[in-house]
Structure 1
Amino acid sequence: LDQLGCREALYACVEPVQWVHDRDQHGRLLAKPSSVSQLAKARSGYSFAFSDRQNILEVLYDNLKDKSKVLVGKNLTTVRQHASGVTVICEDGSAYVGDVLAGADGVNSKARSEMWRLADEEDPELVKNDKSSLESQYQCLYGIASSSSGLPAGEIDVGYNEKRSTMAIVGKNDRTYYFVFEKMNKTYKDPHIPKYTEADKIEFAERHGDMKVTDKVLLRDLHKNSVSSTLVGIETATYKIWTWGRIACLGDSAHKMTPNAGFGGNQAIESAAALANSIKKLSDTSNGQRPTQDQVVACLHSYQKLREVRAAAAIQASNFLTHVQALATWGHALFARYGLNYMGDFLENLTSDVTVGAVAIDYLPLPEGSLRGWMPFNPEQGQGMKENLLVRAALAMPFLAVFAFAWKISSAVVGIGGDGLASSAWYSARLMPSSLTTSPWGFGGQFNSSASMNNTYTTTSANVHPATNMLTTNFLSFSGVVLSIWSIEAIRCCNALMPVQLPLLFTVLAQRRGLGVVAPLYSFVHWVLTPIDTFKSTDMRLTKMHYTKAVLPSLLMTFYLPLIQVWLLPEVSQRQTWLQLWQYFPVTLSLGQFAMSKIWKDTADQDKIERPKRDVATLRYTIGVPTGVATMFWLYTLCASPVSFSRLFLAHNITTTLADFSSTSALTPVYDLLQYNYLIAILSTYLWLLYFVWDAKVAGIVTQSWLTVLAASALATVVLGPGGAVGAGFLWREYIITEKRHKGALTSDKVRRGVCEGKE
């Protein structure tokens, strides 16, 4: 509509929505208010607004250059197709001939019914299923009130009730639009969808009059000031056939959705733009000649092909929101109660998914305002264009293969028991009786892999075996880098309600089974659930600053400080005491971050709108410090290793390792276990970063060749070590998702480049 020059006129007659309030049956807030309009404008350049159809039609009509083409009061009765065109006959007997009939005449479309009639004449089975597609599960009282009863202008209040819901939108001049939805006792199919009388409407309004729009305003307060109101069954349909011959349906006649999300009007406008694009292309390729029947049919098929996937996705999203607001099932109720709190941007992201791939009019210039947001319009992203998670899971099977291998090693080591280990000369000669008699997580005592590794850390801190000491310090410093990354990903906005938001779970498992076991599992989950589409808007990669600031200090206090004491204190008993404290770092790290985050104000809502890159500097030093520590130990190892690097870092055959576990030959068993743990953790994390590069290359965000990427990775590993390379790789990844754009994104630079190339 901005391309048509209607933007200013539209905004002049509406009140942009500022806040959306989700409320329970008592009118109390379910979650903090949603700044949907502000974030929508920051992302797309356009505010979120609501208006009735009358205002929009008036603006569109006033914008027409030639109003003589608009004929009112013409009710379609019959459509006839012929080789040279299509003829429509109206109720008053008038007839009109053209190349294409576009039926945008609503859910009870006469154009669609005529299209079905003509299709039946040639293929009775073609539209058979479509004729029964229209259905209704909800009835809705829709009204316009002259008074808001005190509700603030520019706000939407949504009420969540069992099997029913409300919505009130206060527009310009206190004009208020209200909806009451109720789930019916069954799903009705067309033509059996109920029709309601005035008496039905009055009964419905009285029955639901006590519903709370807010904690102070009831539904009856709005309904008594109604200018108009109606009770209808809310239809929804996903039609398979939009076109036949020279007839094309669009809007509700092709894709009918529930009104809860407000997508219906936008989808109709998109379909109109897509149809106009197809017809314009047909006209441009016809060389001034009248298009043939086959050309018209192909043109209309291309229109449907472009639109049907996104329209179906919008229908699905609208239906989901309708069910959630009516608490249709226990799953929807759980989502409303808890999901809205943890997914503060649910409505904004749902709207963004629908709008990011919106159809533009190809033959008109893009408005400058649409190119300035955090989320460029992109026809290759959004609803209907999302990657299939099952396909991503299949592609990520190497992570699960690594996980299975690591689990087998871990299980075999745990299964061996501790008799041989307890009699090992390495332990009995070097280690005082351990105070670590039980695992902090209740998984058994000294004779498990966790206790074995803890004894290893204590013994190596005495530097009784320099090679073991170097391997251990490199492994632990690498673990620090991984922990910092996991902590950052847990507080990234786009990871809301994903398993990676639970670093405590992964770190506890890593303590029990080893980082080498957990790292491939974490990498699998993260990569599968985080396609490149996740970062379509700059603010989606944002982390919560008050938590981000807490990551490094809490990591230093709970992970690094106890280890420093383990290495520096003179007495073995003291070192073991600090190691006992260190074992609890999964819990203390999480508690430390939570406690320290309270020092700073949560500015996430403001940052998303105004400063979506605000956290970048903090991220750099949060990752940079553990990366520097890992690099320091790596460089020291390069200079002072008492054994070859292959012996220091490359594990022997696992069969040999397990056979030697009861040996008194000092080093091999636990040393090889540590090697495997370290190598598998490195492999998993490297693979995770390379999978991101794969995603980014497909999206056109990374343009470097694979040879360049692999060479840079190898060089970074040699110079910085595995921990340094992973830290540097993560920071490079952060730069990519912050500064680079998808190849399909319509940015200012790309549009200007296209204009210049067109002029050339």
Structure 2
Amino acid sequence: MSHEPFRVLIAGGGIAGLTLAIMLERFDIDYLLFEAYGDIAPAAGASIGLFPNGLRILDQIDCYEPLKKLIEPLDDRIYTRDENGKPITTLKGLPKRLEQRHGYPLMFFDRQWLLQVLYDQLKDKKKILINQKVKNISLIDSAVEVTCGSGQTFRGSIVVGADGVHSAVRKEMHRIGNQLEPGYFPHKEDDKIPCYYVCSYGIAQDVPGWVHGDAAQVLGKGHSQLVVSGPRHRVYWFFFSRLPEPRYGGDIPVLTRDDEENFIERYADTAITEDVTFGQLYAKRLTSTLTPLHEFVCKKWFFNRIIVLGDSAHKANPIGGQGGNSAIESATELVNALLEKRASHTKGLTNLNDVDVIEILRNTEIARHDRAEWVVTSSHQQQSLMASEKRILSKIFWSFLIRLKGNEAVIDIFSQSFISASRLKALPLKKRPRSIPYEDELPARPVKTWKVLDITVFGFLGWLLVAWIRNQTSEISSTHIGSRSPAHQLYVISQIIPSMLIPIVESYRSGNEGSPLALPSVFLLAMWQYGATPVVAVYMISHALLSFDSLAGRHIQLDVVQILSTGTRIGYVLLALLAAVVVWVCDSGSISGRLIYLAPLALCALTYTSKAVLSFRNEGQTPQSEKNAASMEQYRNQDMPYLRRMYVDAMVIQATVHVGTLIYTFGPLSNPVPICHCFDKKMFDTNLVVTAAACLLMSLYTVWSLRRLGYVTTWEYVVALLASLIGEVLVGPGAVLIGLWSWREDVLVRLGTW
């Protein structure tokens, strides 16, 4: 056991190494950092994209504000363009939208600038040793020894390899592991690292024809591009070209300047926009490089007292922009593990034996491995779609799906990379307004299993089958209400309110754009034809499988929700009039219960028509600044007062009818209303019970969904579950479902910090 103070030896002065050094210094953990080159922030010609998951951590260590000074306020427009440079989609203000959602924007600038900010943040710069490339590592008694190319030897408690794809630390770790514990590492793992693409990347400036502030991801066949505006009229580019066949390990090509010249000649005429080609961009370069792109996640990141992080352990295709952010997260989890051990160990980090150190490194790997694999896989899939590796799939995605789903779906793709990100557990998070919490900020840990969803969906399917068979074989079809007793008619009609309100409200959610849930008229027309029972089941299944999970998807445009707020009251009046007509002619049975469905269909038509008229009237008259402000309103929850009003109206109506029905069916009071002489226990027939069961199932699934996503605690989940069951009896299934829908709305809103 070593009696020396705990010391971390860091190989590599890149993003992972410097971030780790800042954190160790912040928590008074000794370290030395070895940088192979003579400059800690060289002008290497690379750019870096920082997303909210990385910036949140950098904000914890006081690096965010200095980074904000590097960027310029731009009217950012991000285009997806086809291989001819023509726009397919346009997304305005992505950095600002990400900031509204997650508290931090997207930043793009020279990688050198980030390294300089990180280096400047260090107080004791004598611990940064330049021109010191790690050559050899030795395990000694409860310690580790590093020998550098200079011949100097340094002793520490652990070694962290943050020295890139071609990591010397990883090679030494494999060598030692294979000697001391054969089979610990997969056989010749480095020889199995794949390379599918080569990439030309660099920095240009003052490119003719390029619109400053724009960004473009450009599709192609076997190739793709990512071009981004930066400060000082810089333009950062990545040109990806797929190799004819994947190359592995030592067979991955080492590219030369001649290879780069041939590459540029081959793709010079490839369009970026309709006005700019890749050759024109390259002609204005400040720096450029052609490199193969390794894609991998090591099976094991550590052995004994040695661990690799960042590109040394996990390397993703840069198309996803998560390389630097992932490195920051890995450094963070190592510090979290160190601090956890220091807090639980009687002597802090002093005198840690090998078992203690291995526990620290194992916890780091466990915390990061699965997420790193997800990042690598999702980046590869994104590149595959952009380069048309599977042309039919790419064609369907870019020509149909992405346009159908709209901009919210594009932003959601970005957001998936952020919400499960790491953080420094020992430092407070800075207060940054945001509408979507990270997983570690949720009231409860999300439940990763989908078994309950499967059971629920198949339960809906089974119920649908039974309802459909009954509907087709019953002597009195459920689509005809007119032949039932007045009491039965009034009760059933009141329960139509959820099937009128919920599909129409959900159709205008930004998160449901482009899905079948955005077509309420289809469901309502089906109810007209087949009755509510089977169609409600289909809607429930669709909602369970297709509805949004992102909190930002909750929003409804302010003008639309204002129309809905007024329209629903008109719909209730129309529903009451139709109910009176149906009840008045109930004995003759001459009017079909289908009349009732005119109310939701009328509301659907009224909302759609009013929205179309407003859009047409405002087209060309609204300044762009107001349009941009309107696009950000979804993060301010301005639709909530109108939604609450609609839910309260619906709950009061349904609860009143249900309570009245209970009183006159089961209570001792005499019935003062002549048409209600039919109230008796027989009115609760099978069809009505099945409909009530459907509402109960949807209510239970709504509560479970909030718990599954971590939006409510287990205690809140249990209370809501019990309240739902009790409410089914006291106020009725329809009122319970609407009440839960209102509660769900409040839950989604409270998770934001505006």
TM over 0.5, shorter chain: yes
Matches within 5 A, 1:710-725: 712-713=723-724, 716-717=727-728, 720-725=731-736
1:492 maps to: 509
1:205 maps to: 264
Spell out, residue by residue over 1:299-319, the C-alpha distance to the aligned partner (whole angstroms, 9 max, x if none): 111111111122122222222
Range that drifts further, 721-730 or 222-231: 721-730
Q: 2:89 & 2:629 partners in 1: Cα distance? A: 13
1:31 equivalent to 2:89? Answer yes
Distance 1:300 1:328, change over 3 A: same
Query: Alpha-carbon deviation of 1:102?
Result: 0.6
3-state SS of paired residue (2:291)? strand
Distance 1:124 1:579, change over 3 A: closer
Distance 1:127 1:406, change over 3 A: closer
1:319 equivalent to 2:376? Answer no
Range that drifts further, 552-561 or 404-413: 552-561
Query: Alpha-carbon deviation of 1:265?
Result: 0.2
Distance 1:401 1:723, change over 3 A: closer
**Alpha carbons 1:693, 1:702 under 8 Å: kept:** no
Distance 1:42 1:261, change over 3 A: same
3-state SS of paired residue (1:79)? strand
1:401 maps to: 459
**What is the RMSD of the two structures over their aligned residues, measured on CA atoms?**
3.5
3-state SS of paired residue (1:108)? coil
2:119 maps to: 61
1:71 equivalent to 2:106? Answer no
TM-score, scaled relative to structure 1: 0.79
Aligned amino acid, residue 457 of structure 1: I
Q: 1:118 & 1:42 partners in 2: Cα distance? A: 48
1:662 maps to: none
**Alpha carbons 1:554, 1:593 under 8 Å: kept:** yes
1:356 maps to: 419
1:172 equivalent to 2:231? Answer yes
Distance 1:381 1:679, change over 3 A: closer
1:682 equivalent to 2:743? Answer no
1:296 equivalent to 2:320? Answer no
2:555 maps to: 542
2:33 maps to: none
Query: Alpha-carbon deviation of 1:292?
Result: 1.1
3-state SS of paired residue (1:679)? helix
Distance 1:413 1:63, change over 3 A: closer
Range that drifts further, 319-328 or 512-521: 512-521
TM-score, scaled relative to structure 2: 0.80
Distance 1:393 1:65, change over 3 A: same
**Alpha carbons 1:163, 1:327 under 8 Å: kept:** yes
For 1:6, which of 44, 63, 83 is the aligned residue? 63
Q: Can you give the 5+ residue segments of structure 2 that lack an aligned partner in the other structure?
A: 1-57, 619-626, 665-670
Distance 1:367 1:731, change over 3 A: closer
**Alpha carbons 2:435, 2:751 under 8 Å: kept:** no
Query: Alpha-carbon deviation of 1:692?
Result: 4.2
Query: Alpha-carbon deviation of 1:293?
Result: 1.4
Q: 2:430 & 2:706 partners in 1: Cα distance? A: 33
Q: 1:183 & 1:547 partners in 2: Cα distance? A: 46
Distance 1:221 1:582, change over 3 A: farther
Q: Can you give the 5+ residue segments of structure 1 that lack an aligned partner in the other structure?
A: 422-448, 461-467, 652-673, 742-746, 749-760
Distance 1:348 1:678, change over 3 A: closer
Distance 1:581 1:719, change over 3 A: closer
Distance 1:63 1:491, change over 3 A: same
**Alpha carbons 1:42, 1:610 under 8 Å: kept:** no
For 1:339, which of 397, 401, 416 is the aligned residue? 401
2:439 maps to: 378
Aligned amino acid, residue 612 of structure 1: R
Range that drifts further, 347-356 or 64-73: 347-356
Q: 1:609 & 1:253 partners in 2: Cα distance? A: 42
Range that drifts further, 593-602 or 205-214: 593-602
Aligned amino acid, residue 136 of structure 1: C
For 1:391, which of 451, 460, 463 is the aligned residue? 451
Q: 2:437 & 2:456 partners in 1: Cα distance? A: 34
Q: 1:142 & 1:733 partners in 2: Cα distance? A: 46
Q: 2:214 & 2:533 partners in 1: Cα distance? A: 50
Q: 2:293 & 2:656 partners in 1: Cα distance? A: 65
State how many pairs are aligned.
668
2:490 maps to: 473
1:615 maps to: 639
Distance 1:596 1:705, change over 3 A: closer
2:324 maps to: 265
1:647 maps to: 682
3-state SS of paired residue (1:368)? coil
3-state SS of paired residue (2:164)? coil
2:668 maps to: none
3-state SS of paired residue (1:355)? coil
Aligned amino acid, residue 58 of structure 1: Q
Spell out, residue by residue over 1:161-197, the C-alpha distance to the aligned partner (whole angstroms, 9 max, x if none): 2332111111111111111112222222222223323
Q: 1:648 & 1:690 partners in 2: Cα distance? A: 29
Aligned amino acid, residue 541 of structure 1: R
Q: 1:349 & 1:327 partners in 2: Cα distance? A: 22
Distance 1:119 1:15, change over 3 A: farther
1:411 equivalent to 2:469? Answer yes
3-state SS of paired residue (1:260)? helix
**Alpha carbons 1:167, 1:180 under 8 Å: kept:** yes
Query: Alpha-carbon deviation of 1:92?
Result: 2.4
**Alpha carbons 1:282, 1:291 under 8 Å: kept:** no
3-state SS of paired residue (1:179)? strand
Spell out, residue by residue over 1:102-149, the C-alpha distance to the aligned partner (whole angstroms, 9 max, x if none): 100111111111111111112136232633442122221112112232
Q: 1:644 & 1:565 partners in 2: Cα distance? A: 20
Distance 1:336 1:381, change over 3 A: farther
For 2:746, which of 705, 712, 735 is the aligned residue? 735
3-state SS of paired residue (2:561)? helix
Distance 1:7 1:500, change over 3 A: same
Distance 1:739 1:607, change over 3 A: farther
Distance 1:482 1:578, change over 3 A: closer
3-state SS of paired residue (1:548)? helix
Spell out, residue by residue over 1:337-378, the C-alpha distance to the aligned partner (whole angstroms, 9 max, x if none): 233331413443233332233322333343233xx3222343
Range that drifts further, 596-605 or 400-409: 596-605
**Alpha carbons 1:516, 1:676 under 8 Å: kept:** no
1:436 maps to: none
**Alpha carbons 1:87, 1:95 under 8 Å: kept:** yes
1:134 equivalent to 2:193? Answer yes
Matches within 5 A, 1:601-640: 601=615, 606=630, 608=632, 611-634=635-658, 637=661, 638-639=663-664, 640=671
**Alpha carbons 1:484, 1:551 under 8 Å: kept:** no
3-state SS of paired residue (1:598)? helix
3-state SS of paired residue (1:240)? coil
2:278 maps to: 219
3-state SS of paired residue (1:33)? strand
**Alpha carbons 1:30, 1:340 under 8 Å: kept:** no
1:516 maps to: 533
Spell out, residue by residue over 1:403-436, the C-alpha distance to the aligned partner (whole angstroms, 9 max, x if none): 42442342255257xxxx5xxxxxxxxxxxxxxx
Aligned amino acid, residue 64 of structure 2: R
1:755 maps to: none
3-state SS of paired residue (2:226)? strand
Q: 2:572 & 2:84 partners in 1: Cα distance? A: 46
3-state SS of paired residue (1:642)? helix
Q: 2:184 & 2:133 partners in 1: Cα distance? A: 28
Distance 1:191 1:587, change over 3 A: farther
Matches within 5 A, 1:180-191: 180-191=239-250
Spell out, residue by residue over 1:18-42, the C-alpha distance to the aligned partner (whole angstroms, 9 max, x if none): 3322222232322232422102212
1:111 equivalent to 2:162? Answer no
